[in-house]
């Protein structure tokens, strides 16, 4: 125990997520409010007591015991007053199970599957997952997605109401229903990671806590028999590879560095090896998913000593497969870069033209065009494209990057 009462970073947030998930699972989605109140109250009690009594040796256990005791008390009180059958059933379930964090692992997974209900749209699934499973506050979620706090709050209220009305069971679905729901869960986790990896606006390029949360959740999935399918491992691998590059993604001033310009000695090799281990497990299945292919591409980059040494032909092959199973304009854009590396700039440039209608508002599209023009010595065109990129929405570090490239051309 740390003498200064030091707690593991984000412990309270993670425990809040675990405990809320656990209470919702035992008591049902009709008791969302009760679950959240009891968890918040247990955190506030810690705040009032620990400064005087010191941090307990098992902070998570203390919080769990407190939250469960509060829930039991409130259910008993309600039952006495109203004699509602559902409350009594919940009371019995709650009293019967121990309040240790040990069994909380399954609670969070169950809640994730509950939150990724097909009746909810993707935004609602993400918001609900972050709030109930991950312990984020409404304000924190709003900041992550640059939405208004009230909008997020409403989204969550509606999502909860939907689950309550449909009486959604909070459990990992039976095997027959697992595949469809698992896909949704994996998508939500990937969305979460992407938001953290490359925040769409604001001062920070990377929101590390979102990336960590995504990794934590996906590893939870991958660790289990029923949900640890090869595609779950593929997603974990993909995120580990991206995460391994994070230390090199920005320079000291917080400016963005492209893959080609990154100091690869800063890439975290432990994370890379973890990615390779999961990629190995991902290859044991018959199903080839986009996560497999994206992980494969990331693995090639991760293992290359330099941009020049990268096996771009192999990267291109994987992008071709991606385009075959799930074509999107952004994948096509990334593929164009690989084409440029393998077949030359002119060929690469030809891949970009058809993408204009769909990607015109994306700064990355214009940034890639500008880069291609620069390689061809077409400076005026490059300047035009960087200027177009700057008129698109992007984060502050991305903006500075574009301005820097533009200035370099004009020197």
Partner 1 sequence: MPQFMLILFEKPGDFASMSPDQIQKVIEKYGSWGARMAQENRMVGGHKLTEDGGRKLDRSGAKVAVTDGPYAEAKEVVGGIYILRAKDYAEATELAKTCPHIDYGRIEVREIDFMGQPEPA
Q: Judged by CB, which is closer to partner 1: 7, or 259?
A: 7
- Listed residue (86, 69, 87) closest to 78, CA to CA: 87
Q: How far is the CB of 56 from partner 1 (least distance, A)?
A: 11
By beta-carbon proximity to partner 1, the closer residue of 40 and 321 is 40
Min dist CB 42 to partner 1, Å, is 10
177 phi and psi, to 5 degrees? -90, -10
CB 131, min distance to partner 1, A? 11
**Rounded least distance, CB 311 to partner 1, Å:** 42
Q: Cβ distance 5 to 50 under 8 Å? A: yes
Q: In the complex with partner 1, which residue's Cβ is closer, 209 or 383?
A: 209
Residues engaged in binding partner 1 (CB under 8 A): 3-7, 10-13, 15-16, 40, 43-44, 46-55, 135-137, 139-140
> Is the CB of 9 or the CB of 360 nearer to partner 1?
9
Rounded to a whole number of angstroms, the minimum distance from the CB of residue 50 to partner 1 is: 5
Distance between CA atoms of residues 58 and 379, nearest Å: 62
Rounded CA separation 361/314 (Å):
30
- For residue 256, the cross-strand partners are 250
User: Chain-centre distance of CA 261, in angstroms?
Assistant: 26
Q: Tokens standing for 99?
A: 């309040």
Give the residue with the Cβ less far from partner 1, 5 or 344.
5
Per-residue HEC secondary structure of 273-342 comes to HHHHHHHHHHCCCCCCCHHHHHHHHHHHHHHCCCCCCCCHHHHHHHHHHHHHHCCCHHHHHHHHHHHHHH
* 128, two tokens: 């609900």
Residues making up the chain, counted from first to last: 411
Rounded to 5°, the CA angle 61-62-66 comes to 115
Of 108 and 334, CB closest to partner 1? 108
**C-beta of 40 vs 79, nearer to partner 1:** 40
Closest distance between partner 1 and the C-beta of residue 19, in Å?
10
Burial of 220 (0-12, 13-18, 19+ CB in 10 A): buried
Distance of closest approach, residue 15 Cβ to partner 1, in angstroms = 7
Nearest distance from residue 359's CB to partner 1, in Å?
36
Nearer CB in complex with partner 1: 101/230: 101
Q: How far is the CB of 411 from partner 1 (least distance, A)?
A: 44
C-alpha 369/C-alpha 194 separation (Å) is 23
For partner 1, give the closer residue by CB, 136 or 386. 136
Tokens describing residue 121: 């749209």
- CA 306 to mean position of chain CA atoms: 28
Count of CA atoms in the C-beta half-sphere (13 A) of 277: 10
């Amino acid at each position: 125990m740390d003498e200064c009462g030091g707690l593991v970073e984000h412990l309270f947030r993670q425990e809040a997520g675990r405990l809320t998930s656990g209470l919702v699972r035992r008591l049902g989605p009709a008791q969302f409010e009760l679950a959240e109140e009891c968890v918040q109250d247990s955190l506030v009690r810690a705040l009032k007591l620990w400064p005087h009594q010191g941090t307990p040796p098992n902070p998570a256990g203390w919080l769990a015991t407190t939250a469960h005791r509060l829930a039991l008390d409130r259910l008993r009180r309600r039952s006495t007053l109203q004699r509602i059958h559902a409350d009594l059933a919940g009371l019995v379930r709650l009293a019967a199970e121990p309040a240790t964090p040990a069994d909380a692992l399954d609670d969070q997974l169950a809640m994730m599957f509950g939150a990724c209900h097909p009746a909810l749209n993707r935004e609602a699934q993400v918001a609900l997952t972050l709030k109930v499973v991950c312990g984020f506050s409404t304000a924190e979620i709003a900041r992550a997605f640059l939405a208004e706090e009230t909008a997020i709050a409403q989204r969550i209220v509606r999502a909860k109401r939907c689950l309550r009305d449909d009486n959604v069971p909070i459990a990992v679905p039976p095997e027959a229903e697992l595949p469809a729901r698992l896909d949704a869960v994996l998508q939500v986790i990937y969305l979460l990671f992407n938001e953290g990896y490359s925040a769409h606006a604001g001062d920070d390029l990377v929101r590390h806590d979102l990336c960590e949360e995504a990794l934590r959740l996906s590893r939870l999935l991958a660790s289990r028999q029923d949900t640890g399918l090869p595609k779950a491992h593929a997603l974990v691998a993909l995120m580990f590879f991206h995460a391994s590059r994070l230390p090199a993604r920005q320079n000291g001033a917080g400016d963005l560095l492209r893959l080609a310009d990154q100091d690869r000695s800063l890439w975290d090799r432990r994370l890379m090896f973890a990615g390779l281990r999961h990629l190995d497990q991902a290859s044991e299945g018959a199903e080839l998913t986009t996560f497999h292919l994206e992980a494969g591409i990331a693995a090639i980059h991760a293992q290359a000593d330099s941009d020049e040494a990268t096996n771009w032909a192999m990267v291109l092959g994987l992008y071709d497969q991606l385009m075959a199973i799930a074509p999107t304009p952004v994948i096509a854009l990334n593929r164009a870069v690989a084409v440029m590396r393998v077949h030359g700039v002119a060929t690469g440039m030809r891949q970009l033209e058809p993408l204009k209608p769909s990607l015109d508002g994306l700064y990355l599209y214009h940034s890639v065009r500008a880069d291609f023009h620069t390689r061809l010595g077409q400076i005026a065109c490059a300047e035009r494209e960087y200027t177009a990129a700057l008129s698109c929405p992007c984060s502050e570090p991305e903006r500075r990057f574009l301005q820097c490239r533009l200035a370099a051309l004009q020197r």
